[in-house]
Amino acid sequence: MATTYFLTRVAILNLVSVFFKMSKVAAILAIAFIAGTSVCAAPIKIDSLERILATHPVDSVSIDIYCQLSQKYLPSKPDTARKYADMALHLSQSKGYRHGEIVALNCIAEYEYRQGNYASAVEHSMRSLKFSEQSHDSVGMAMSNRALGLIYTFGFKQYDVALQYQLNALKIFERKKDKRNMASFYGNITWIYAGLNQNLTEAHRLALLGLELSKSLNDPQLVSYNYNSQGLIFLQEGQYDSALQNLQRSIQAGIEADDKAVVAYDKSIIGQVYLKQHRYKEAISKFNEAIDESRPLHILEILKDSYDGLAKGYEGISNYPLAYHNHMSYMHLRDSLLNWETTQKAMLTRLEFEGQNKIEELEFANEQEKKEQLIYEVLFGIVLAFFIAVVLLAARNNRQRKETNRLLQEKNQEIAEQNLKLKEANDIKDKFFSIISHDLRSPLSSLKGLLSLLAGNEINDQEFKSFAPKINQRLTGVSETLENLLHWSQSQMKGMSYNPTTIPVRVVTEKCLLLFLETAAEKKLTFSNDIPKDASVYADKNQTELIFRNLIHNAIKFTVNGGSISITSEITDDHVEIRVSDTGIGMSKEQVENLFDNVTARTTHGTDGEKGTGLGLLLCKEMAENNGGRLLVTSEAGKGSTFHVFLRKA
């Protein structure tokens, strides 16, 4: 909603003609007020606003329209204006629309001011100002300050207070860079300084600023207004030629703006300048023009001053009858205004007294409210502190309970995992011992039976010797099984000992190959060891030998007669990869996936019926990992297998 000023030109004219309210200074300010109030009039007409209001839902927009209608009806239909202002205030309060409440209060203050109810006008303006400050509504603050300035100017005639309110409003518009309102307020303040004949240097500065802004806005009414203020200042300073020059320019702009009040006032002031210069005939002419233009407007202050000027002009040219006649007209208007001012001052004194009492009552009520608020705040603080303490205590207990539950769950989980591992270990143990007992019993039973036959002379030495290679092979398997079982039992009961050192890989693999030369020769297998002599790993020696002993023996077991076994390596930045490859029977994909599954214990058979438990491969994997490495396998059924041992590089 466009901001509109507190009163309009017609409002001032009616105010003067009905109540005879203005002294000389008040009249000067009235003209300024007239010029200032019309510059921000909203362009939308009343009927257009009422059509919009008839179909628009009740919201902030409709409230703004109520306020605009109140401002537009005030000059001609004040009661209708008050009705719209009351409606805007009620809707703003029910909708919580603070800006609408601020504008509505200013509209009511304007109505009360026009009715002469200055105390009520101040009360509504002060409420508007308070709400504006609370909600940081800068436009509302400017409107309220301006309204209070005008009330204290025309009503209470406390010009110092009025000036402060005007300056407060000006500061707001300067911050908002609102050029139109700035130009108007520069003029208002200049009029106050000129009327009081004070701070004329500052008045000159403000007048020039107002004139510059008015011209940039191409607003003839504001231009006329600011030229008029310039002329008044020069008149106060006795610079009559400069005063006349600015007043003539004000008349030209006023005619362009069709502002008859300003034109009439300019001509009256020009007449006074001519009197100062003893140009009596020219003064008489200007006073007559001012009277002709101000009489239909009912601007009594201009009429009074113009009749006084005519009396002095005719006296200057020695036309005493006309001087007397105009002097009597002047005296009649002056006495009427003085009588009204006397009555008004008595009323203002009573209003000021009542207003002061009301202010004191409000201050006392505010103090009581502050004390009650302080008590409520202290009580609230105590309750809040108690509540926070309870919440913190409950939160701490809850955290402790959660922590206890978490620890209990962790312990239960740990126990469950240990139980599961123990069960798995027991299951593996049972399976291993079932297989091992069968694998150990079979060759030992065969040896026992053969020895019984030999002892009973049921076979001769030659026949016994024919069985010896087979028995030796089985006893070798038994020995291997027992050794692996020994290592496995040690790792399960007390963990593996770990004593790392630098180990030449080729030396270890050659040592393991020598152990199985006889077995390999029986199956006509060929060995190749392509590991370079400088390839070394950092690992436990015994565990490393056990790894390669099992892998080589495993390769011999599952390689068909006439096959081959190769040992190769590859050195990286931090590991040595040793590959034990064979051309044996290989494994299926499922066998590879279950090869290192320690849950599945099984008996396997080599190409010549050699038995195995799978315990050796499990030991190889565990020991490789114990030494910071790993064991992988690649295999394809019918094409052989390759075991990849990764150990840390020395």
**499-508 confidence digits (pLDDT tens):** 899 999 999 9
> What's the pLDDT tens digit per position in 208-257?
888 888 898 888 888 988 898 888 889 988 999 999 999 999 999 989 88
pLDDT on residue 31: 41
Q: Taking a C-beta distance cutoff of 8 angstroms, is the pair 408, 580 a contact? A: no
Residues pairing with 578 in the sheet? 569, 645
> What's the pLDDT tens digit per position in 254-304?
898 887 878 998 999 999 999 999 999 999 999 999 999 888 866 777 888
b/e per residue 528-559 (b: at least 16 CB within 10 A): eeebeeebbbbbbeebbbbbbbbbbbbbbbbb
b/e per residue 7-27 (b: at least 16 CB within 10 A): bbbbbbbbbbeeebbbeebbb
Q: Where are the domains of the chain?
A: 319-447, 500-648
Is 51 exposed, middle or buried (CB count within 10 Å of its CB: 0-12, 13-18, 19+)?
exposed
Contacting residues for 88 by C-beta, under 8 A, at least 6 apart = 63, 66, 67, 70, 100, 103, 104, 107
pLDDT on residue 635: 92
> What's the pLDDT tens digit per position in 171-192?
888 888 888 888 887 877 887 7
Q: Would you state the structure tokens that stand for residue 54, as one six-digit string? A: 């008839």
The DSSP element (H or E) to which 552 belongs, if any, is helix 541-557
Nearest-5° angle of CA 426, CA 428, CA 429?
60
Nearest CA to 35 out of 203, 219, 279 is that of 219
Q: Would you state the structure tokens that stand for residue 435, as one six-digit string? A: 């297989």
Q: Provide the pLDDT confidence category of residue 418 given band limits of 50, 70 and 90.
A: confident
Coil/strand/helix, residue 631: strand
> What's the pLDDT tens digit per position in 553-588?
889 989 999 999 999 999 988 999 999 999 998 998
Cα pseudo-dihedral 312, 318, 320, 324, rounded to 10: 0
Coil/strand/helix, residue 138: helix
Mean pLDDT of the chain: 79
Nearest-5° angle of CA 440, CA 445, CA 451?
130
Angle between helices 98-114 and 138-150 (to 10 degrees): 10
Q: Taking a C-beta distance cutoff of 8 angstroms, is the pair 618, 602 a contact? A: no
The CA distance from 235 to 193, in Å, is 13
Q: Provide the pLDDT confidence category of residue 35 given band limits of 50, 70 and 90.
A: very low
CA 118 to mean position of chain CA atoms: 46
Q: Taking a C-beta distance cutoff of 8 angstroms, is the pair 505, 535 a contact? A: yes
pTM of the model: 0.45
Contacting residues for 137 by C-beta, under 8 A, at least 6 apart = 98, 99, 102, 131
The CA distance from 307 to 398, in Å, is 93
More confident: 279 or 362: 279
pLDDT on residue 27: 40
The CA distance from 219 to 8, in Å, is 17
The CA distance from 226 to 31, in Å, is 11
The CA distance from 644 to 599, in Å, is 22
Q: Would you state the structure tokens that stand for residue 170, as one six-digit string? A: 């000006």
Nearest CA to 294 out of 311, 320, 269, 322 is that of 269
Contacting residues for 567 by C-beta, under 8 A, at least 6 apart = 509, 513, 527, 528, 529, 530, 531, 552, 578, 579, 580, 581
pLDDT of 82 above 90: yes
Question: Please, what CATH class does the domain formed by 500-648 belong to?
Answer: alpha beta
- Mean pLDDT, residues 484-493 taken together: 56
The CA distance from 201 to 176, in Å, is 25
